[in-house]
């Protein structure tokens, strides 16, 4: 249940930042942002497949994390 709470709190934060984004996109971003850092490399395609099965018509736009992404990559 903690994982569900984490996703919902993350979704609420995303919704507060941008109220115009569709709720399915917000939910996918929240699930992705709270789960992907915990996964191993070979788990990522499985997770992407599950998301695709749950939301087959939803396209999530690229999220620019700016300086954080650059710092992570270096």
Instruction: Give residue 3's pLDDT.
Output: 85
* pTM, rounded to two decimals: 0.80
Over residues 60-68, the mean pLDDT reads 84
Contact between 14 and 30 under an 8 Å Cβ cutoff? The reply is: yes
Over residues 29-47, the mean pLDDT reads 93
Residues 21, 39: Cα–Cα separation, whole Å = 26
Q: What percent of the chain has pLDDT over 70?
A: 100
**What are phi and psi for residue 72, nearest 5 degrees?**
-65, -45
Domain boundaries, the chain: 2-73
What's the mean per-residue pLDDT of the chain?
A: 91
**What are phi and psi for residue 9, nearest 5 degrees?**
-65, -40
Residues 48, 26: Cα–Cα separation, whole Å = 16
């Amino acid at each position: 249940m903690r994982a569900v709470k984490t996703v919902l709190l993350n979704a609420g934060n995303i919704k507060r930042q941008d109220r115009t984004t569709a709720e399915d996109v917000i939910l996918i971003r929240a699930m992705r942002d709270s789960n992907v850092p915990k996964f191993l490399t070979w788990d990522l395609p499985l997770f992407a497949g599950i998301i695709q099965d749950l939301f087959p018509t939803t396209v999530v736009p690229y999220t620019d994390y700016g300086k954080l992404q650059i710092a992570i990559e270096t």
